[in-house]
């Protein structure tokens, strides 16, 4: 029922946007908003860490960047809520994840520079997830650890929808285009000092520690993901390191990214 309502809402919004776009109203509003945003100089904030001094400007684009940073990992955060059995994943998707992606899409149109950066982060996140899964699935086979990803599909669509593992790919759909891509969007919003192997490794390690924190403080989550033990720790740490190193390498080496991320 919730999925149907969410889909209907998306189609309604899409229809309204299409009509406005066709009669020229939306492009005019978007252009007016862009010009107004560009004229906002904002306030410059400076601070020091040791001998290094940093500064940033608080204006509308600052808040757009923060919005992408916060909304990007919505799929990961939503999955954590479902693992902890606070809310069902279908409810989390309809109330939080889907609106978050709609908001990011709108922001991408209103602020094309940040929209392009978010799109690059989305793509890099998917590619880094492929690297992650090469490592993770290799360890799953070698260590005999069960693969928890197909279970995401069961949580999302319901056990009555997924029978006998026929729709295992639904969990991977969430993983690649929700978790991996969303974390990539958030990574793209970080300061450029993180766009390196070391910065990517730190990012992957931070995300991995977040996963272990959920499993530790909400033990019921272990029933959905995996039981905490040494083997699982090694698998999880190495997998998240692989993701971080991969996305850090992509951002460090890509000429397109260096040309796009000038701020």
164: left (phi over 0), alpha (psi -120 to 50) or beta: left
In the structure encoding, which two tokens stand for residue 67, read together? 């919005």
Q: Rounded distance, CA 109 to CA 112, Å?
A: 5
Q: Where are the domains of the chain?
A: 60-260
Inter-helix orientation angle 2-22/25-38, to 10°: 90
| Window from 19-33, 119-133, 199-213, 214-228 with minimum mean pLDDT | 19-33
* Position with higher pLDDT, 216 vs 246: 246
pLDDT over 90, % of the chain: 38
Whole-prediction pTM:
0.76
In the structure encoding, which two tokens stand for residue 26, read together? 């939306």
What are 223-261's pLDDT values in tens digits?
887 777 787 788 888 889 999 999 999 998 887 777 666
What are 43-77's pLDDT values in tens digits?
555 555 566 665 545 567 778 889 999 999 999 99
Q: Which residues contact 188 (CB under 8 A, 6 or more apart)?
A: 68, 117, 118, 120, 121, 124, 251, 261
Over residues 167-194, the mean pLDDT reads 90
pLDDT of residue 41: 55
Query: What is the largest distance, in Å, between two alpha-carbon atoms of the chain?
Result: 61
Looking from the CA of 226 toward its CB, the CA atoms found within 13 Å total 19
Over residues 19-29, the mean pLDDT reads 51
pLDDT of residue 128: 95
pLDDT of residue 138: 84
pLDDT of residue 78: 92
In the structure encoding, which two tokens stand for residue 48, read together? 């020091």
Pairing of strands 43-49, 52-58: antiparallel
Cα-Cα-Cα-Cα dihedral sign, residues 189, 190, 192, 195: negative
pLDDT above 90 (res 151): no
Average per-residue pLDDT in the chain? 79
Over residues 133-160, the mean pLDDT reads 80
What confidence category does residue 24 fall into, taking pLDDT thresholds of 50, 70 and 90? low
């Amino acid at each position: 029922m919730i999925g149907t309502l969410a889909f209907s809402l998306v189609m309604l919004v899409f229809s309204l946007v299409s009509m406005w776009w066709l009669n020229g109203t939306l492009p005019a509003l978007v252009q007016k908003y862009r010009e107004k945003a560009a004229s906002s100089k904002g306030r410059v904030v400076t601070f020091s860490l040791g001998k290094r001094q940093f500064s940033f400007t608080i204006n509308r684009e600052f808040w757009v960047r923060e919005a992408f940073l916060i909304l990007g990992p919505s799929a990961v955060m939503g999955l954590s809520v479902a693992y902890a059995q606070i809310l069902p994943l279908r409810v989390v998707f309809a109330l939080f994840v889907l609106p978050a992606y709609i908001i990011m899409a709108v922001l991408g149109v209103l602020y094309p520079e940040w929209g392009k950066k978010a799109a690059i982060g989305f793509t890099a996140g998917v590619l880094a997830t492929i690297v992650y899964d090469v490592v993770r699935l290799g360890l799953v086979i070698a260590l005999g650890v069960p693969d928890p990803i197909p279970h995401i599909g069961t949580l999302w669509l319901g056990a009555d929808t997924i029978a006998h593992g026929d729709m295992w790919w639904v969990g991977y759909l969430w993983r690649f285009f929700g978790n991996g891509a969303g974390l990539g969007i958030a990574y793209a919003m970080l300061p450029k000092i993180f766009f390196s192997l070391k910065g990517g490794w730190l990012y992957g390690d931070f995300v991995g520690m977040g996963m272990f924190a959920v499993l530790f403080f909400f033990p019921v989550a272990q029933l959905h993901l995996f039981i905490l033990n040494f083997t699982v720790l090694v698998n999880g740490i190495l997998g998240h390191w692989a993701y971080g190193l991969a996305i850090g390498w992509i951002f460090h080496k890509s000429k397109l990214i260096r040309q796009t991320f000038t701020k």
